[in-house]
Structure 1
Amino acid sequence: MMPPSPAFRLARLAILGLGAAVVLYPYLWMISASLKPQTEIFSASLSLWPTQWFAAENYGKAMTRIPMLRVLANGAGVCAAILVFQIVFALPCAYALAKLRFRGREVLFALVLLGLLVPIHAISIPLYAAARDLALLDTYAVLVVPFLLSTFAIFLFRQFIRALPDDLIAAARMDGLSESAIVWRVVLPNAWPAATAFAVFSVVAHWNDLYWPLITVSQTRLATPPLGLLFFRAAEAGDDYGALMAATVIVTLPLVALFLMAQRRFIDGMTMTGVKG
């Protein structure tokens, strides 16, 4: 196969660069607005570079009007707890569906795929009623418990584990390992790319989730980042956009840092899950 011509590579780079610019511009505008005074944000000029720096005032309000550090800690704690339990529950299920032979395995996998089609909004009313009856509203537990089992995690791990050599599993059994030990001592160390990819999906989804915290939490001390932004906007009467953009930058920065740190394993995990269907 002939290598692509320089003109083709240049055109491809230009198209990718244009796409990146379109995607990044709202984020750059958000950062720019967080550095400007209110009067400059809605001026006729479209310059991203502020003529008057207002960063100290905007970020100072973002950190003091609500307990921002606690909001970030809530988000980190809730996402970490959900992720740990999701992996603990999903990995053995995925291993059983990928490597064990038993009656009804394909039916169970079909049910997992069916679970992927059910959004949280469709079952939020019975979940809310159950949380109310169990007195879990306005607690950290209500933010974690409904998401302990992830059908997407089972599907992703199952696809990855199917690509592992059967000889590896057989050798572990010959060494006397139980099926549970194989999951945690053989499968998990080899499944880190898939685990990292799923971690990015899980953390981003639950860090950005506003719907469930909004209907189950009413106290600022329990607020996750999106709900904290909502409380901040209410405290600011909704018109201090410089401070609101500063708070948004603070909330989104951990996700950007997470993806930059995990991007290589994320790409590996997403590509390797399709090696063997």
Structure 2
Amino acid sequence: MNRLSFPTAIVRHAVLLITSALILVPFIWMVSLSLKPPGEIFREHFSLLPEQWYAVQNYGKALTSSPLPRYLGNGVLVCAAILALQILTCAPCAYALAKLRFPGRDLIFGIVLICLLLPHQVLSLPLFIFGYELGILNTYAALIFPYLVSPFGIFLFRQVFKAIPDDVVHAARLDGLSELAIVWKVMVPMALPAVIAFSIFSVVGHWNDLFWPQIAVRSESLMPPPLGIMAFANEEAGNDYGPLMAAATIVVFPLIVAFLVAQKWFVEGMTGGAVK
């Protein structure tokens, strides 16, 4: 058995290392380009490190030639608002689907699963018309309101809540807690790893979102990071890829740090509801 498991482990680790390398190569290349002067970027021979360090010039231009800090601030504001509203709506919905009995519960959960299958781009036209009727286009609200409810969040929290014993809920009711109090004082704290995992998914997804912001906003002061980088590439950077790669590195860096800090809870949250 050991003779079979050792080669299998070698193959498994080799596949993981190769896959990880393929994923990391674009990021490493992006950081490398952000450190190089224009003359070294398109050289024929491969060079990971620059011969002439140009980091100060590239990162300085990325931060000063465009309102990149404003784009980052917009991203933080929009992602934080979306995450807070999603947790506020998804947790009670998931609790109702997991612990309460009422007519149509399974039908509603089926609708949630169907919503998971719908690409968000399919809803862009009705959302645009709805935003126009509300008069919120080209505002922060236009970037936030389409994501008030997350089907994935409802599904994830529901699976984790179902894994929590019903006796915990019964004990909370005997203590006089209302259903909403049970959600926020009992269920959500017990499902904290799932909340962190969902938070990473939500923040990464909306931080990197380019499709809907292109439709919803036109003002440069409202642009989130991806749309801001695209505007920077068109107006300021042009063919100067060093500052453009520096701006991209600055935008990606907070996500990497956040994931590295929360990776333990991320894995636990994604697997916590897998086995009841």
Q: Same fold (TM over 0.5)?
A: yes
Note the aligned Cα RMSD (angstroms): 1.4
Ranges in structure 1 where 5+ consecutive residues have no aligned partner: none
Q: Which residue of 2 aligns with 1:128?
A: 128
Q: Which residue of 1 aligns with 2:18?
A: 18
Q: Which residue of 1 aligns with 2:96?
A: 96
Structure 2: distance between partners of 1:268 and 1:132: 41
Q: Which residue of 2 aligns with 1:233?
A: 233
CA shift digits 1:174-217 (9 cap, x unpaired): 11111111001100100111101100110011000001111111
What is the one-letter code of the residue matched to 2:157? F
Distance 1:80 1:34, change over 3 A: same
8 Å contact kept, 1:36–1:242: yes
Report how many aligned residue pairs link the two structures.
276
Q: Which residue of 1 aligns with 2:269?
A: 269
Q: Which residue of 1 aligns with 2:112?
A: 112
Q: Which residue of 1 aligns with 2:220?
A: 220
Say whether residues 1:173 and 2:177 are aligned partners: no
Structure 2: distance between partners of 1:64 and 1:247: 11
Q: Which residue of 2 aligns with 1:201?
A: 201
Q: Which residue of 2 aligns with 1:47?
A: 47
| TM-fit CA distance, 1:230 | 0.8
TM-score (norm 1): 0.96
| TM-fit CA distance, 1:4 | 6.8
Q: Which residue of 2 aligns with 1:253?
A: 253
Distance 1:171 1:263, change over 3 A: same
In percent, how many aligned pairs have the same letter?
Answer: 53
Distance 1:100 1:221, change over 3 A: same
Distance 1:239 1:30, change over 3 A: same
| TM-fit CA distance, 1:14 | 2.7
8 Å contact kept, 2:237–2:243: no
Runs of 4+ with deviation above 2 angstroms:
1-15
| TM-fit CA distance, 1:15 | 2.6
Structure 2: distance between partners of 1:94 and 1:164: 12
SS of 1:236's equivalent? helix
